[in-house]
């Protein structure tokens, strides 16, 4: 499902962001990626999204070999995953419904399917009655739910979440994490980058710790500080 072998990433300017990283994630797993600031966690998600290319090493995601991917195929790879960011990345002038539907419009799904599926995911994240509101009228947690709904609306097999609770208070964060667990329970692979040590420690999922671009630790049922 997801396999990195000896992946090194050097930015043209700046230090080596990832050094000889090898990670394998099987289908349906829930993985936390932790580590200090600058450890290379965001770089890792960018490589998986194909926003950056590895300097060396191979990456295989959902049967796409990133090194052999032609520019035309990048959108196809991205359609097979959903992404969530710390800053939500919603269109402020569109309603909740439109923000979610957009991910389907962009991949040219027929309008009648869009309506049905959008209603489905909005009820899943508990925002059915806010569907006609603008993001600015919602709380941070609600905005992140919209982003999450958008990430899963096309039924990806992998969800990448880069500090999805970074801007949220602990209680709201738990709400988001519960949703991620629900989504994971339906078989979707989940990769969550986080600094929320309490969440990591209480869930006891697989934890991959990066430090200065290297995998410092990779253990099942792990905790935030090894």
Ligand X SMILES: Nc1ncnc2c1ncn2[C@@H]1O[C@H](COP(=O)(O)OP(=O)(O)OP(=O)(O)O)[C@@H](O)[C@H]1O
Please return the burial class of 147, using the count of CB atoms within 10 Å of its CB with bins 0-12, 13-18 and 19+. Answer: buried
Shortest distance (Å) from residue 11 CB to ligand X: 3
Q: CA 80, CA 73: separation in Å to the nearest integer?
A: 11
107 part of the interface to other proteins, by CB under 8 A = yes
Beta bridge partners of 143: none
Q: CA 147, CA 222: separation in Å to the nearest integer?
A: 28
The residue assigned the tokens 């929320």 is: 196
Output 89 or 113, the one with its CB closest to Mg ion. Answer: 89
Shortest distance (Å) from residue 124 CB to ligand X: 28
Contacting positions for ligand X (CB under 6 A): 11, 13-15, 17, 35, 37-43
Query: Considering CB distances under 5 to 8 angstroms, the limit depending on partner class, which of Mg ion, ligand X, other proteins, none binds residue 215?
Result: none
Q: Which two tokens stand for residue 111?
A: 């309008």
Strand 189-193 versus strand 30-34 pairing type: parallel
Output 191 or 200, the one with its CB closest to other proteins. Answer: 191
Q: Looking at 49, 212, 216, 223, which residue binds other proteins (CB under 8 A)?
A: 49
DSSP 43: H
Query: Considering CB distances under 5 to 8 angstroms, the limit depending on partner class, which of Mg ion, ligand X, other proteins, none binds residue 187?
Result: none
Q: Looking at 97, 148, 159, 168, which residue binds other proteins (CB under 8 A)?
A: 97
Number of H helices, E strands in the chain: 7, 10
Q: CA 165, CA 170: separation in Å to the nearest integer?
A: 8
* Residues contacting other proteins: total by CB under 8 A: 28
Q: Looking at 7, 23, 39, 114, which residue binds other proteins (CB under 8 A)?
A: 114
89 part of the interface to other proteins, by CB under 8 A = yes
Q: CA 59, CA 6: separation in Å to the nearest integer?
A: 9
Shortest distance (Å) from residue 159 CB to other proteins: 12
Angle subtended at Cα 163 by Cα 160 and Cα 167, rounded to the nearest 5 degrees: 135
Residues interacting with Mg ion, by CB under 5 A? 42
Binding residues for other proteins, per CB under 8 A? Answer: 49, 51, 71-72, 75-79, 83, 89, 91, 94-95, 97-98, 101-103, 105-108, 111, 114-115, 150, 154
């Amino acid at each position: 499902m997801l396999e990195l072998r000896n992946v090194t990433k050097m930015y043209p300017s700046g230090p080596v962001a990832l050094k000889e990283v090898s990670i394998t994630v099987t289908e349906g797993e829930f993985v936390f990626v932790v580590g200090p600031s600058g450890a290379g966690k965001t770089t890792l998600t960018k490589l998986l999204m194909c926003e950056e290319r590895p300097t060396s090493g191979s990456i295989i995601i959902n049967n796409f070999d990133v090194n052999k991917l032609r520019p035309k195929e990048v959108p196809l790879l991205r359609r097979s995953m959903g992404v969530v960011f710390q800053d939500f990345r919603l269109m402020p002038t569109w309603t909740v419904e439109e923000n979610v539907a957009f991910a389907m419009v962009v991949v040219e799904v027929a309008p009648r399917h869009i309506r049905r599926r959008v209603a489905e995911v909005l009820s899943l994240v508990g925002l059915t009655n806010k569907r006609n509101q603008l993001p600015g009228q919602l709380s941070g947690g609600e905005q992140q739910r919209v982003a999450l709904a958008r990430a899963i609306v096309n039924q990806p097999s992998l969800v990448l979440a880069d500090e999805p609770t970074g801007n949220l208070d602990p209680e709201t964060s738990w709400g988001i994490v519960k949703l991620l667990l629900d989504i994971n329970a339906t078989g979707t692979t989940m990769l969550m980058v986080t600094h929320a040590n309490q969440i990591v420690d209480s869930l006891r999922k697989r934890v991959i710790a990066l430090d200065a671009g290297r995998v410092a630790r990779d253990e099942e049922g792990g905790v935030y500080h090894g």
